[in-house]
Amino acid sequence: MRYQRRAAAIGLVAAGALLFSACGSDNAGGGGEQGGANAAACGGKQNLRASGSSAQANAMTRFVTAFEQACEGQTVAYTPSGSGAGRNEFLGGQTDFAGSDSALKDDEAQRAQQRCASPAWNLPMVFGPVAIAYNLAGVPDLALDGTAIARIFNGQITTWNDPAIAALNPGKQLPAAPIIVNFRSDESGTTENFQKYLVAASNGAYGKEAEQTFQGGVGAGARGSQGVADATRNTPNSITYVESSFATRAGLGVAQVVNSGGGQPVPLTAENVGNAINDVAVTGQGNDLELDLNSIYTTRTPNAYPIVLATYEIVCSNYQDDPTGQAVRGFLTTALSPEAQQGLPEAGYVPVPDRFKQRLTTAVNAIQ
């Protein structure tokens, strides 16, 4: 059963096919005995089922392709049904693991303990930067900080030449044009994470809740990431928040962001996003790698881009049947391989930086 996608999922630019050296299986669940350095990643249950976050949909496509090429006869059917549905289906035993934009809540962790007969782990496998994308003639580069972004998106800053924006962009000719805000009209993990950033990094300027619907109270709504990117491309003097690949594909400007350290504006690059991820605080215990994303949103590290969406794979630490545990471990091992990670920036994600990958690898290897 191949990876299934729904049209309403948050789309990200699909990249070309992956090349991955074949590896063998040590039981009937994987291919034949083919050997290779990654042989231990194959075997177990042939057809894994998973569902959840649509924000990681195209990363999962890449990971599944790599897994199928590495382990003949094995696959993962991932349905991007949304984070809440993914968690519920995993907790109900309908899937082998879940993709989620947020870690399990306390009550969900208790249900997961019953479903797994072991603790469940939150493993942040996919990271994607959120761009502050804009359409402003004559301003090829724009710097903003958390407070200015919050005040734009809650309607307190209404013109491009506002003194707060001008102070961050000395020497630039900013027009007196009104700022047109475009926001996601549908429920979205991107919207929730963006607003979490605003709450954490704006020194109280946002004054709104971080929910899956936009709470700023200004602007025009458009459905989906493609919708807000198109609206911004077609509307002069407008601004939005969107996964970086959509901004790039639409030819929009992407603001540099001054992080909470107050230093130089930080461009959105894979390296700068990796700098923020490397310093993220982990609130989970042991191999449960639940993150304190506020440590990214409020990073003071030079050259760390602070607006990052993280999505988890939620797994049993010890599956009740060994073939499932082996296959989940093998799939996630493949997902962390260089062959699966390369090219992720083309699809709007960043490869897991090496320092954080070490923690993930330790946790993945411990899945039973």
Q: Where are the alpha helices (DSSP H) in the chain?
A: 57-70, 83-91, 106-116, 146-153, 163-168, 189-201, 224-233, 244-249, 270-278, 294-297, 322-335, 338-341, 354-365
pLDDT value for 27: 35
Reported confidence tier of residue 285, pLDDT bands at 50, 70, 90: very high
Reported confidence tier of residue 58, pLDDT bands at 50, 70, 90: confident
Between 117 and 28, the more confident residue is 117
Rounded to 5 degrees, what angle do the CA atoms 311, 357, 281 make? 65
The Cα–Cα gap between 174 and 142 comes to 10
pLDDT value for 35: 32
Percent of the chain with pLDDT over 90: 74
DSSP 260: T
Per-domain residue ranges of the chain: 129-273
pLDDT value for 19: 27
CATH 3.20.20.70 fits 129-273, yes or no: no
For residue 131, the cross-strand partners are 242
The mean of the pLDDT values for the chain is 87
Q: Encode pLDDT of 76-131 as tens digits.
A: 999 988 888 899 999 999 999 999 988 999 999 999 999 999 999 999 999 999 99
Q: Encode pLDDT of 39-52 as tens digits.
A: 447 999 999 999 99
Q: What is the pTM of this model?
A: 0.78
Residue 4 has pLDDT above 50, yes or no: no
pLDDT value for 33: 33
Residue 209 has pLDDT above 60, yes or no: yes
pLDDT value for 13: 32
Q: Encode pLDDT of 154-189 as tens digits.
A: 999 999 999 999 999 999 999 999 999 999 998 888
- What are the tokens at 305? 């881009």
Point out the least confidently predicted range of 78-82, 111-115, 257-261, 286-290. 78-82
